[in-house]
Amino acid sequence: MEERNIISYGGGQNSTAMIILMIEKKVKIDEIIFSDTGNEMPKTYEFLKVFEQFCKKNKINFTTVKSHLGSVREYYFENNIIPYRMFRSCSDKFKVRVINKYLKEKYGKDVIINMFIGIGSDEKHRAKIVDKKNIKYFYPLIEYDIDREKCIEIIKKEFKIIPVKSGCYFCPFQPKSEWSKLLKESPELYDLSIEFEKNGRAYPEGSFIGNMTLEDFKKALKEQTKLFPEDCKLIKCVWCHT
């Protein structure tokens, strides 16, 4: 049976380092597929422009796919809900299903897909996907014991810039420190996230952070900044680091 080596690319550090490693080890890559949620971090889209040129240089097919549902924000906003930590419906609807649909349409049922996933050795617990009838999953970073720190070292040898961790700017899985960073670097995206959260029918109990709303978190950060004008450099902020 014919086989194809496919990479599910998230645009972040792990999958980028994995691809560099596979090229170094001369592992054949038939196609790299990026499923665009429509709400990735701005720096992710910036890095993608550089990465696509890298793929062209190495003669690797790079494909961007999108869900027929639109962007993650559009879909959830229209249904008056937000993505929650306890469910991974956003990843399933806008990443897994979209890529699998593309593979089925392009390669059919008679081709074995060797799917390479960029999960680091420090996140082994995430590698729980069971092989399907015509899809086999591989985790090179776990196999070679490469964590996020080593991924960054690998990327630095090839690129002048380091991609940010992949994910939507309103990802419910990101810690408070990332929300704090978003507020500081992209306040307009933070405010869009507040609007998104408030639109959910379960608001204010249903929030991205879990134990408080984004609006309350924003207020708390402002109050702390007044108390500690050094941007919390001398303390471990209880708001950001939990």
Tens-binned pLDDT, residue by residue, of the chain (242 aa): 899 999 999 999 999 999 999 999 999 999 999 999 999 999 999 999 999 999 999 999 999 999 999 999 999 999 999 998 777 789 999 999 999 999 999 999 899 999 999 999 998 888 876 767 899 999 999 999 999 999 999 999 999 999 999 999 999 999 999 999 999 999 999 999 999 999 999 999 999 998 899 999 999 998 886 544 444 543 445 445 45
pLDDT for res 214:
98
User: Residues 9, 152, 42, CA angle at the centre, nearest 5°?
Assistant: 55
Spatial CA neighbour of 65 closest among 107, 94, 108, 89: 94
| Residue with the two structure tokens 């108390």 | 227
Domain with CATH 3.40.50.620 in the chain: 2-156
Going by C-beta distance under 8 Å and a sequence separation of 6 or more, which residues neighbour residue 55? 32, 61, 62
DSSP helix/strand/coil, 63: strand
Q: Which CATH superfamily is domain 2-156 in?
A: HUPs (3.40.50.620)
